[in-house]
Amino acid sequence: MNRTDEVAIVSAARSPFGKFGGTLRDFTLPELGGLVYAEAIRRAGVDPADVEEVATGVNLPGADRSIARQVLINAGIPPERVAYTVDRACCSSLAAITMASRSIRLGDAAIAVAGGSENMSKVPYFLTETRWGHSLGDITLRDQLVIACPMTGKPRAVQAGEEAVEYGVTREEQDAWALRSHQRYVAAREAGKLEAELMPVEVPRGRGEPIVFAEDEAVRPDTTLEQLARLKTIYGSPTVTAGNAPGLSTGASALVLMAPDEAKRRGKRPLATIVSFAMASGHPDRIASIPAEAARLSLGKAGLTIGDMETIEINEAFAAVPLVSTLILAGRDPGKAEEIRARTNVNGGSIAIGHPTGATAARLVMTLAFELRRRAEAAGDGRPLYGVVSICGGVGEAESVVLRVET
């Protein structure tokens, strides 16, 4: 197989994202991931036996292990194929995509499937100090869902809020962004824009007929700015509330990747092309600003600027994240920041959709790819359109990818 500089995204699919304790709460990560990976392969029109590599991002595996391997088997891919599980916090499914892309770029694989699976409703409590017995006194259960930085001990909400204050991004701006997320998501749903990425999931229901779960569960279409303003901040954060942050979620996402020559040989028109990708890291407290650094790196590798991007996806881990990162990408120019924000998360984001941490990044990639495809086909002028995805992860991490779509 030949080396290549670019990677074709041939198909994409995701489950609806369920809310905490919601409709998808009983699915294991391999079960949900297997369903979605199988659907992405079906949409690509390829035989599962042709898949050479599977990468699955997971952030909170609970007591399970070898999740990508189980996803591969559940998806009907032959057991002789290889699979690996990736943990890079919220960047995990984008790390899975970029690692599988490296295999394709090096010529080690022609077809791969990458994405992520997460069920935050199924994360167990941990008894971390009881293996060797326990004397008199209380036993403490550790809850991984009280999400804080393991290095600094700060809750993520505090980190995001402190960076918002540092960059002059107000609580009011964050609440307004949260409202915008819900409004833009509802508008996109009503326009039918989500149909291309979503797949229905049958949810068993005892002895009755299964429920067909077909829409994201966390969106609040009746949200108002007044309601958001009344919410108290959480974990001692100066600005972050339950309203301007996403809830704990469940979902899976997957993309079928091919070498461009392989896609051409099979007569497959790419949904989008991965032009470049980059990982970034910084101080463990940098959560709202680090996506800007990752975006800068991936854009630099592609020889492009933020001004060249038709649309932009920056994950709404908190509303502070896209607000701070767009301000940095604008060189702290408020007017330019507003222009960049107008092109960012145009169909809503994780505050509305939900944020199953191991699966969100792949959702961002497919959301961007489908939006660029719609715009390119509407324009009909043959001009390539570019977009960038960037997402923060825990402990000062971020990842970014630049996509191109051509008619």
- Return the minimum-mean-pLDDT range out of 196-210, 299-313, 350-364: 196-210
- Provide the whole-model pTM: 0.96
Structure token pair of residue 292: 């800007």
Residue 333 pLDDT more than 90? Answer: yes
Contact (Cβ atoms closer than 8 angstroms) between residue 275 and residue 400:
no
Torsions phi, psi for 188 (to 5 deg): -65, -40
Across 90-94, 133-137, 208-212, 356-360, least confident range:
133-137
Residue range 382-402: average pLDDT? 96
Beta-ladder partners of 393: 397
User: In this model, does residue 174 exceed pLDDT 70?
Assistant: yes
Please report the pLDDT score of residue 1 as a whole number: 63
| Of the candidates 352, 376, 350, the residue with the CA atom closest to the CA atom of residue 363 | 350
For the cut 70, the answer to whether the pLDDT of residue 44 exceeds it is: yes
Q: Give yes or no for a contact between 24 and 32, defined as CB atoms under 8 angstroms apart.
A: yes
Distances (CA, A) of 388 to 19, 292, 309: 27, 11, 7
- Cβ 12 vs Cβ 274: under 8 Å: no
Domain ranges of the chain: 7-120+243-405
Q: How high is the pLDDT of residue 142?
A: 86
- Phi first, then psi, for residue 241 (nearest 5°) are -125, 175
Burial 16-26 (b: 16+ CB within 10 A, else e): bbbbbebbbee
The whole-chain average pLDDT of the chain stands at 96
For position 143, what pLDDT does the model report? 87
Tell me the pLDDT band of 145, cut-offs 50, 70 and 90. confident
C-alpha 270/C-alpha 263 separation (Å) is 7
Whether 283 sits among the annotated catalytic residues: the reply is no
2: pLDDT strictly greater than 80: no
The 10 Å Cβ neighbour count of residue 322 is 30
**64 has pLDDT over 80:** yes
Q: How many CB atoms lie within 10 A of CB 144?
A: 14
**Candidate list 91, 134, 182, 355, residue with the active-site label:** 355
Residue 91 designated active-site: no
Q: What is the pLDDT of residue 156?
A: 92
As a whole number, mean pLDDT of residues 209-219 equals 95
Tokens (6 digits) for 214: 């077909």
Active-site pick, 90, 91, 134, 149: 90
Q: Are 98 and 277 in contact (CB under 8 A)?
A: yes
Class of domain 7-120+243-405: alpha beta
Q: 1-6 contacts: CB < 8 A, separation 24 or more?
A: 1/107, 1/108, 1/109, 1/110, 1/259, 2/107, 2/259, 2/261, 3/105, 3/106, 3/107, 4/104, 4/105, 4/107, 4/259, 4/260, 4/261, 5/105, 6/105, 6/260, 6/273, 6/274, 6/275
